[in-house]
Amino acid sequence: MGKLSPPEVDSPLPAVTHVNGSARVQTVDARSNPLLVKLIHAFEGRTGVPVLVNTSFNVRGEPIVFRASDAFRCFMNTHMDILVVGKYFMRKGDQTMRPDLESWKNQFPLD
């Protein structure tokens, strides 16, 4: 039996749209989270899309990110290009990996 392909979704945002056309939308306003609103507007200015995907932040076999150091370790060991933590904006090419964060693959067994 061959590999199954995911169903096609007719949506301008297929990454966040369920096969039935629905999505779990969350909203934010400048009063409650001004930094996130600023980030969304900057993203829209560059891409034309005023939406960011909110997902669990971890890779297979690893617990969900809890601390900024967890986020940095995950960021540096995956194919992410940019990490934003609070008011900090990091491009991967500008970062230096600490040796104690390199062994993440040995810390968390795959399921």
With helix as H, strand as E and coil as C, how does 56-77 read?
A: CCCCCCCCCCCCHHHHHHHHHC
Closest CA to 81 of 70, 94, 68, 97: 94
* Same domain? 14 vs 48: yes
pLDDT at 3: 66
**Within a domain: residue 3?**
no
* Same domain? 63 vs 99: yes
For CA atoms 60, 23, 14, 53, give the dihedral sign.
negative
* Same domain? 63 vs 36: no
pLDDT at 91: 93
pTM for the full model?
0.56
**Interatomic CA distance for residues 101 and 31, integer angstroms:** 36
pLDDT at 54: 73
* Same domain? 71 vs 45: no
Is 73 buried (19+), middle (13-18) or exposed (0-12) by CB count in 10 A? buried
The pLDDT averaged over each successive group of 10 residues in the chain (111 residues) is 68 82 88 92 92 80 86 85 87 79 59 50
